[in-house]
């Protein structure tokens, strides 16, 4: 492992993106090296500066949690924003939550739903749950019980337990016709998401 690690470090220092990502991940997880958030951040920053969305997202997490860097919500938003605009679902979700909570950026519920919605459309389970909640409560988006039912259902399919409780509560307020309409809408969403997954494969 020592020789391999030395070779990997050498490539990373020469600017090899994959090697930088691997070094960051090794230090993040403490595999083959002593775990170090500071070292992980160092390597992820080099990869992020090359435009890698995964590394940018990892820096966003680091700044959110204050791991290996001084905690800084504004800096977290900057890095998550870069990754989110490249289509990183996890960062889209994090950016959406930042807008929802007004952390590191001015609170904007409409903007929050845009980013959470993008993550949900990519199949990100917690984003689907949060989008369902937004539709149910009419926060950042017009209240829409059918849409809430759809997104809760999609989250349930990925074993997000709170979504099951929320959908049950929702069903108690819905007529049979409303549930049927929501089920039809759900089927359309499932087909669309499936076709997106196939085309991306």
Task: Provide the pLDDT for residue 32.
Answer: 87
Mean pLDDT for the stretch of residues 110-122: 96
Task: Provide the pLDDT for residue 1.
Answer: 45
What's the token pair of residue 116?
A: 């959470």
Mean pLDDT for the stretch of residues 122-145: 95
- Total length of the chain: 201
Task: Provide the pLDDT for residue 191.
Answer: 87
pLDDT above 80 for 3? no
Helices (H), the chain: 2-13, 17-29, 37-49, 53-65, 73-85, 89-101, 109-121, 125-137, 145-156, 161-171, 176-200
pLDDT above 90 for 197? no
Query: Cβ neighbours of residue 42 under 8 Å, at least 6 residues apart?
Result: 24
pLDDT band at 117 (very low <50, low <70, confident <90, very high): very high
Task: Provide the pLDDT for residue 193.
Answer: 78
How confident is the model over 22-81, as pLDDT tens digits?
Answer: 999 999 999 889 999 999 999 999 999 999 999 999 999 999 999 999 999 999 999 999
pTM: 0.90
> Domains of the chain (ranges plus CATH)?
21-122 (1.25.40.10), 125-194 (no CATH)
């Amino acid at each position: 492992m020592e020789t391999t690690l030395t070779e990997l470090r050498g490539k990373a220092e020469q600017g090899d993106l994959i090697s930088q990502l691997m070094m960051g991940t090794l230090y993040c997880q403490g595999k083959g090296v002593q775990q170090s958030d500071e070292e992980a951040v160092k390597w992820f920053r080099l990869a992020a500066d090359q435009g890698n969305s995964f590394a940018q997202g990892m820096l966003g997490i680091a700044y959110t949690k204050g791991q290996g860097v001084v905690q800084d919500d504004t800096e977290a938003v900057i890095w998550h924003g870069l990754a989110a605009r490249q289509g990183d679902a996890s960062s889209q979700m994090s950016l959406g939550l930042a807008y929802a909570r007004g952390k590191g950026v001015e609170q904007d519920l409409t903007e929050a739903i845009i980013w959470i919605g993008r993550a949900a459309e990519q199949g990100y389970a917690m984003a689907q749950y949060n989008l369902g909640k937004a539709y149910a409560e009419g926060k950042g988006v017009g209240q829409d019980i059918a849409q809430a039912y759809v997104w809760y259902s999609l989250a349930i399919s990925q074993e997000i337990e709170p979504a099951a409780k929320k959908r049950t509560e929702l069903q108690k307020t819905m007529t049979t016709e409303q549930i049927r309409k929501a089920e039809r809408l759900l089927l359309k969403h499932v087909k669309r998401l499936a076709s997106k997954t196939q085309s991306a494969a």
